[in-house]
Structure 1
Amino acid sequence: MTQIDTESPAAAEEGASGRTRNPAAMLLAMCAGLGVILVLLLMVFILPSLKSGAHDLQVGVVGTDTAQFEQALGAAAPNAYEPQQFESDEALRDAIRNREVVGGFVVDGGNVHALVASAGSSAISGSLTGTAQTVARATGSAVTVEDVVPLPASDPTGIGIGGLAFPLVFGGIVPVVAFRKIFPRSNAWYLAGLIGFAALGGIAVSAVLTYWFGSIESSMWPVAAALTLGIAGLALPLAGLQNAFGAKGFTLGAMTMMFLGNPLAGIATTSAWLPSGLGTFGQILPPGAAGTLVRSAAYFDWAGGATAALTLVTWVVVGLALYAVGARRAPAEAQA
């Protein structure tokens, strides 16, 4: 007579392993693990802002005898600025427009004329203005401030471009999932969808910034081009990771963009305001590079945007290469 084994799979697994799972231990382990993740997220999103500020910022100084001023500058803001001598105030203005320095000071006897660029970073321009006033009080000088590259009157704090970090990351992640659902078997249509959305998204966001928010006073098309490259630089690497490594590859890439690329992008203040190592790392990732390129296109006639553009192009190429690897691997695995 055949005996029927009525032991459940869970019981059999427990018997095979020789141990049972303790619900209390599992509860504590899960709470501890999630607590660690929460603390890490807090550090990633909050710590950069707490440690941000003026540090080693390149500024220009004009004047025949600026030694006393530079000494007072160092005392007012230790390690905040690295002064460079310029022959004239016009040469300093050109350097600010070309993003070679973030601002500067024209010292003329008892007067200090601060040159800032709020379009480059309202935080940095505010810091320069405050430092100039502190130095003026310490030396008994008079201070005036000139905004060489100002923000538009409709967006005097730069909120429009400063708030692009999350929309950029969202615009890079969501289309990868959406177009894969629509075109599950067509690589050509899938990639066309991602590239088409990048262009459409760039134009749409640029139009809103220009005609609704008033954050851009010049032509919207350079900004649209920068945004298009930025969205493509986010979406195509994620698509490549998904095609080459599956859902795990996409998840890892998306988490990196969201939880590292987003807070370390420095779009609102520029990377120079973040702690030096974090700011540099943020510019390697697509969100940070995209923010730098958009600001360069919007206010500085592309000055200072070459490295960011090259970074985004590199991400696009890497994404397409990964996608090609995954596309070639799929038929081989199907035959196997």
Structure 2
Amino acid sequence: MSATPTRRMVGVMVLIPVLVALALWAFAWPAARTAPRDVPIGIAGPASATARLEQGFEQREGAFDVHRYDDEAAARTAIEGRVVYGAVVATAEGPRLLTASAASPVVAQLLTEAVTSQAPAGTQVHATDVVPTPAGDPRGSALAASILPLALAGMAAGAVVTLMKLRGARAATALIGAAALVGITAAALADSWLGVLGGPWWSEAGVLGLTVLAIGAAVSGLAALIGTPGLGLGGLLMVLIGNPFSGAASAPELLPDPAGLIGQWLPPGAGATLLRSVSYFDGSAAGSAVLTLSLWAALGLAAVLVGGRRRRGRPVATAEHRAAEPVPVG
């Protein structure tokens, strides 16, 4: 057995466990360390009535970021604008809880448990879901489950464009066209058929398509710049890290630091946040997610175009060089 096949054999034996360990870390670590970390919530009512409620939340150090509002109307506006995940309103009858399960069913449940545990014995906590999940997805699980297929679709688009050796403008056009068709198809399935999304149809299709384009362009752009290893790097970023760090199944504020922040910088997390905003909150707090996805898409497409020009230039230069070489006689 030659040295090269032996090294390859050993490399495979070592690489596979490393990849498995990385995947388990990326997926299991955030799930095992899920807990509230500076989750923005609101407290509404006069200071004399909310002091006890505020003190109860502050006792859970680092868990909640408390925002104060004058009344219930202001708290509802903050929830609908995605400033806070929920709010507690102090009333003469006792605390009234406002949640938004569409923002995160997990956070809504945590708030319910936190407020109920703080309420005096015998006091009933009245809860209102200000922005509920749609009837087709009451637990919000379908939206969370859609992020991995979008990541895989973007990964597949980038890989196919690379392996089919499409370059420059043709590669960029293929990525944009594939992403647009995926967005339309996904919206037709998730909104029109399953009823798990409740926003403007074309806006949802645009979000889904932009998410796929950001991932596909990034993967193909990396491959155009550094070659085939770029596909592996793209898969690592978008699938093994981007998907579990997205916070789609819970909330970015429930993930251990810095996973939640990193997840929002990557297309899967930004796509999940933007899809929630467009589908359930009339586009509120969508700016940062739009910017993140647009930057990934633009930089990826730019890399595809630049990489295509570089690759086209190499054969030409080689041909010119060969033409300039003297032809041997005899």
TM-score by length of 2: 0.88
1:54-89 deviation digits (Å, cap 9, x = unpaired): 1211111112221112222344x4432122210110
Is residue 2:258 matched to residue 1:277?
yes
* Counterpart pick for 2:99 among 95, 105, 116: 116
Q: Is the 8 A contact 1:270 1:292 kept in 2?
A: no
- For residues 22 and 314 of structure 1, what CA distance do their matches in structure 2 show? 40
SS of 1:264's partner is helix
- Answering whether residue 229 of structure 2 is matched by residue 248 of structure 1, we say yes
Residue 63 to residue 22, structure 1, CA distance change in 2 (3 Å): closer
* Distance change (3 Å), C-alpha of 1:326 and 1:275: same
User: Could you say which structure has the larger radius of gyration?
Assistant: 1
Match of 1:63 in 2: 45
Most deviating of 173-182 and 161-170: 173-182
Q: Does 1:228 align with 2:212?
A: no
User: In structure 1, which of residues 250, 257, 261 is the aligned counterpart of residue 238 of structure 2?
Assistant: 257
TM-aligned CA distance change 1:254 to 1:92, over 3 Å: same
Mark the CA change 1:58 to 1:185 in structure 2 (over 3 Å): closer, same or farther. closer
Match of 1:35 among 17, 20, 23: 17
Deviations 1:272-305 (A, max 9, x none): 2212311000111111111111111100111111
Q: Counterpart in 2 of 1:195? A: 176
Q: Please tell me the residue identity of whatever aligns with 2:54.
A: E
1:270 Cα deviation (Å)? 2.6
Q: Partners in 1 of 2:167 and 2:302 — Cα distance? A: 17
Residues 135-154 of structure 1, C-alpha deviations (whole Å, 9 max, x = no match): 1146x533100101001122
Instruction: Give the Cα–Cα distance (whole angstroms) in 2 for the partners of residues 226 and 179 of structure 1.
Output: 22
In structure 1, which of residues 213, 216, 223 is the aligned counterpart of residue 197 of structure 2? 216
CA distance in 1: counterparts of 2:257 and 2:280, whole angstroms: 24
* % identity of equivalent residues: 32
| 2:321 counterpart residue number | none
Provide closer, same or farther for how the CA distance between residues 236 and 34 of structure 1 changes in structure 2, counting only shifts above 3 A: closer
1:319 maps to 300
| Structure 1: unaligned runs, 5 residues or longer | 1-8, 15-20
The reply on whether 1:169 has 2:151 as its aligned counterpart is yes
| In 2, Cα distance between equivalents of 1:320 and 1:245 | 15
Give the counterpart of 1:82 among 47, 65, 90: 65
Which residue identity lines up with residue 125 of structure 1 in the other structure? A
Unaligned runs of 5+ in 2: 319-330
**Which 4+ residue blocks in structure 1 deviate beyond 6 angstroms?**
none
Give the whole-Å Cα distance in 1 for the aligned partners of 2:18 and 2:201.
44
Residue 33 to residue 321, structure 1, CA distance change in 2 (3 Å): closer
1:146-183 deviation per Cα after TM superposition (whole angstroms, max 9, x unaligned): 1010011221011221112211111101122334455x
Q: Is the 8 A contact 1:160 1:213 kept in 2?
A: no
Inter-partner Cα distance in structure 1 for 2:239 and 2:256: 19
How has the CA–CA distance of structure 1 residues 58 and 137 changed in structure 2, closer, same or farther, with 3 Å as cutoff?
same
Cα distance in 1, alignment partners of residues 157 and 124 from structure 2: 55
Number of residue-to-residue matches in the alignment = 315
**Residue in structure 2 matched with residue 50 of structure 1 by the alignment:** 32
8 Å CA contact 1:164–1:267 kept in 2: the answer is: no
Partner of residue 268 from structure 2, selected from 287, 295, 298: 287
CA shift, 1:315, in A, is: 0.6
Rounded Cα–Cα distance in structure 1 between residues aligned with 2:175 and 2:21:
34
Q: Does 1:103 align with 2:106?
A: no
- For the pair 1:129 / 2:141, whether they are aligned, the reply is no
User: Which residue in 2 is equivalent to 1:160?
Assistant: 142
Q: Counterpart amino acid of 2:39?
A: L
Compute the displacement of 1:227 (Å). Answer: 0.8
